[in-house]
Amino acid sequence: MTTLLKISSALFGYDYKTVLHQPTSSRQKIVTMGTLMFIPLILWTVSGFYLSRVMLGKGLGVSIGIAIVLGLIIFIVDRSFVATPKRQKGYLMPGLRLCFAFISTVLGSLAIDLMLFSGDLEEFRQSEEKRLRQEEILKYKETHGLELARLDESLLKAEKRYEQLSEAYLKELDGSGGTGMYGKGKVAEAKEGEQLKAGEELERVRLQRQAALDSLEQKAIVYSEEKIQKRGDALMSQVKDLHDFILKDRFTIGFYIFFFGFVFLLESYFILYKISASETLYEQFLAAEEEYGQQRLAFYKEQKDRMLKEKGLLGGDYDKVIQLTSSGRRKII
Q: DSSP of 250-281, one letter per residue? A: HHHHHHHHHHHHHHHHHHHHHHHHHHHSPPPH
pLDDT at 190 over 50: yes
Over residues 14-41, the pLDDT tens digits come to 778 877 777 888 888 888 888 888 888 8
CB pairs under 8 A, 24+ apart, for 43-46?
A: 43/104, 43/108, 43/263, 43/266, 43/267, 44/70, 44/71, 44/73, 44/74, 44/104, 44/107, 44/108, 45/70, 45/71, 46/108, 46/111
Torsional class of 25: left (φ above 0), alpha (ψ -120 to 50), beta (otherwise)? alpha
Helix (H, G, I), strand (E, B) or coil at 249: coil
* pLDDT for residue 230: 67
CA dihedral 101, 104, 108, 109 (to 10 degrees): 60
Q: Give the integer Cα–Cα distance in Å for 16 and 6.
A: 6
Name the residue among 87, 79, 128 with its Cα closest to residue 270: 79
pLDDT of residue 332: 46
Average pLDDT, the chain: 77
Quickly list H helices, 117-181.
118-144, 146-174
Is 299's pLDDT higher than 50? yes
Measure the CA–CA gap between 227 and 3, rounded to whole angstroms: 55
What is the mean pLDDT of the segment spanning 128-133? 80
Q: What is the model's pLDDT at position 65?
A: 92
Helices (H), 84-117: 86-89, 92-116
More confident residue, 85 or 221: 221
Count of H helices and E strands in the chain? Answer: 14, 0
CA distance readout (Å), 164 to 101, 160, 168, 206: 79, 6, 6, 18
Q: How far apart are CA 9 and CA 20, in angstroms?
A: 10
Query: What's the pLDDT score for residue 330?
Result: 46
Tell me the pLDDT band of 183, cut-offs 50, 70 and 90: low
Q: Count other C-beta atoms under 10 Å from residue 240's C-beta.
A: 13
**What are the pLDDT digits (tens) for 303-333?**
777 777 766 666 666 666 566 665 554 444 4
The set of residues, in sequence order, having a beta carbon less than 8 Å from that of 22 and lying 6+ positions away, is: 30, 280, 281, 282
Contacts of 209 (CB under 8 A, 6+ apart): 148, 151, 152, 154, 155
- Using an 8 Å Cβ cutoff, are 51 and 119 in contact? no
Note the pLDDT of residue 38: 87
> Of the ranges 27-41, 160-174, 218-232, 236-250, which is most confident?
27-41
CB 269 within 8 A of CB 118: no
Whole-prediction pTM: 0.56
Cα–Cα nearest to 97, from 256, 258, 260, 275 = 275
pLDDT band at 64 (very low <50, low <70, confident <90, very high): very high
Band (pLDDT 50/70/90 cuts) for residue 234 is low
Q: Which residue type occupies 168?
A: A
pLDDT at residue 201 greater than cutoff 70: yes
CB atoms within 10 A of CB 80: 11
Please give the share of the chain, as a percent, with pLDDT higher than 70: 81
pLDDT (average), residues 176-193: 70
Position 177 pLDDT exceeds 70: no
Alpha-carbon Rg for the chain in angstroms? 43
CA 168, CA 162: separation in Å to the nearest integer? 10
| Confidence at residue 314, expressed as pLDDT on a 0 to 100 scale | 61
pLDDT, mean of residues 250-272: 81
